[in-house]
Structure 1
Amino acid sequence: MVNSTTDILVENNEAAALFLNNGPEVQTYSEEVLNSLSHGIGLLLCIPAVFFLLSLARMKGSKWHVVSCTIYGITLMTMYFCSTLYHSVDIFHLEKYRDFFKDLDHCAIYMLIAGTYTPLTLINLVYNNLSHNNNNNDSSNQPMINGEQQKQNQKKKTPKAVKIGWAMFILIWAMCVLGVGSKLVLGANGVPDIISNSFYLLMGWVSVIGLKDLIKNLPHKGLKLLVSGGITYTGGVGFLIWETAPFNHAVWHLFVSAGTLFHYFCILESLLPSNLLKKDNEHNHHNNNSNNNHLVNNDSKTTETTPTITATTTTTTTTTTTTTHTSTIHKHHSVILEHLEFAEKQIHMKFFGAGRRRKFIVKYMSILHHIFLGWYSSSTVKKDKLH
């Protein structure tokens, strides 16, 4: 009777462990080899790509671009490194460090999610809108006002996208600190996997908060790549929790690698200064001003004759058509290809120097872009040749 009671207690404890921690490690030796190789190769592939991004940020961008892209690049490489290290435990017989490396692996995931949001929020939503707002509100064109009035006016004039950008940035890093803190204090095995996975997904879809502003401030291709990355990550979670499937974790790693590539090219397409993006912004700003002027003129008119109404309608229709045309500029051009052409024309590249190293990184990025996004940019290249 005593033995049977003890057995029941043991079984109940094991069941509780299975629920809280998804049970003991179920990965075989061959599976762990593939797990470590998948992200080890990912690490080797991402290092040159990160430095290419930082090189362009230094050469074409501001301090905001450099800092944001540096944070993103460090978190991306850290995630791949920690994952490779953790899954190499069995290969190099470092079982006593398993829990420690698992903690690092899980912490790095939180950091990557927050790191990916950093350039999207600080550059696309905050910096770009602040720069545009400062240009529109040049103090030299305004009458002298005292300091307090100037501060109040500045608060009133702060674009909504800037406030949303800061809110998302603070929220995502607060969630990152909470996640990392829980792993360091309780340990990776002290936090149920179902909670960790849910928290990863919740962090990943924080972008829903500023969805409208992201749609307005991200170019068409950048938005498409951003959403593709989010869907890829989310789809891969199914394999992560499907522990009975052979090589399920390696498949999850492939989804993660694809997701990171989507988001990397999203940043390369959307955030770095570009002539195409600059022209598009100027066109849209010009058209917005034209629309506002037409509205002002229409309000000031007191005569409501039929010919006037007809003329106004025609003008408004023309303006709308022009706006639609300019808003689709990114559907016909590739900013990434523009960056590659820029790098090819440079004699010296930051972090790479000149000569063979510069040629290597340009060739490497061209191949990576062609392999991963060739299906997406083939139509773009044909249209560019026609123009």
Structure 2
Amino acid sequence: SDDQWETISAWIYGFGLSSLFIVSTVFHTISWKKRHLRTVEHCLHMFDRMVIYFFIAASYAPWLNLRELGPWASHMRWIIWIMASVGTVYVFFFHERYKLVELVCYVIMGFFPAVVILSMPNRDGLPELVAGGLSYCLGMVFFKSDGRIPFAHAIWHLFVAIGAGIHYYAIWRYLYRPSTLEAKKPR
């Protein structure tokens, strides 16, 4: 990172990405070993769902903080975190009651900031953002098919890992790579 915003954005994104995979791994490990751990499993399941909202917000942070935004788009920097907070409250009160509503909330939160990204003057990295988003969306088919398609949940996690990997590459390549940094800095 060359400046304060790059450092902050990297920490936010790194924390969101790491949290998603750590919480998911701990939850699935406890869930798999579930001997007398129902309360812990329930709390970790809720936390697993909550961290998804913050991961989505953290994934957008570098794009919203390090790129020139359109006139109204700068508000998306805080709107995305409000959406993550509302999603967290929703999971806390309605965990596993309205699964389709929760899925729709994830999708809306995932696509709503993309409109802002499309309005940015510099669209480098857009194909990778779309590819990562499509990986998450295709994975949702398997997520909703859990129990009907063999290994559907594991396949869902593979799509998440692929989408996260593509987005990680895009952030590194278009926002942090030295040749890109030189091109975007005014001289």
Q: Could you tell me the TM-score, scaled by structure 1's length?
A: 0.45
Distance 1:183 1:104 in 2: 9
1:268 is aligned, of 172, 177, 181, to 172
Partner of 2:38: 95
Percent identity among equivalent residues?
Answer: 27
- Over the aligned positions, Cα root-mean-square deviation in angstroms equals 2.1
Q: Which residue of 1 aligns with 2:21?
A: 80
Residues 67-108 of structure 1 deviation map (CA, whole Å, 9 limit, x = unaligned): 111011001111111111111124332233221111100011
Change in Cα spacing, 1:277 to 1:224, as seen in structure 2 (3 Å) is farther
Q: 1:110 to 1:276 in 2, by over 3 A?
A: closer
How many matched pairs? Answer: 184
Are residues 1:236 and 2:139 paired? yes
Note if contact 1:99-1:188 (Cα within 8 Å) is conserved in structure 2.
no
Match of 1:256 among 138, 150, 160: 160
Instruction: Report the AA paired with residue 217 of structure 1.
Output: N
- The residue that corresponds to 2:52 in the other structure is 109
Name 1:34's counterpart in structure 2: none
What TM-score do you get using the length of structure 2 for normalisation?
A: 0.89
* Aligned counterpart, 1:123: 66
Say if 1:117 and 1:174 are closer, same or farther in 2 by CA, change over 3 A.
same
Q: Do structure 1's residue 63 and structure 2's residue 4 form an aligned pair?
A: yes
Contact 1:218 1:270 in 2 (8 A): no
Does residue 72 of structure 2 align to residue 167 of structure 1? no
Matches within 5 A, 1:125-140: 125=68
Which aligned segments of 4 or more residues in structure 1 are displaced greater than 4 angstroms? none
Q: 1:181 aligns with which of 80, 89, 92?
A: 89
Contact 2:68–2:122, Cα closer than 8 Å, also in 1: yes
For 1:189, the aligned partner's letter is E
User: Which structure's CA Rg is the greater one?
Assistant: 1
Write the distance in 2 (CA, Å) between the matches of 1:73 and 1:279: 24
Instruction: Report the Cα distance in structure 2 between the residues aligned to 1:101 and 1:280, rounded to whole angstroms.
Output: 42
Match of 1:195 in 2: 101
Gaps (5+ residues) in structure 1?
A: 1-56, 127-160, 286-387
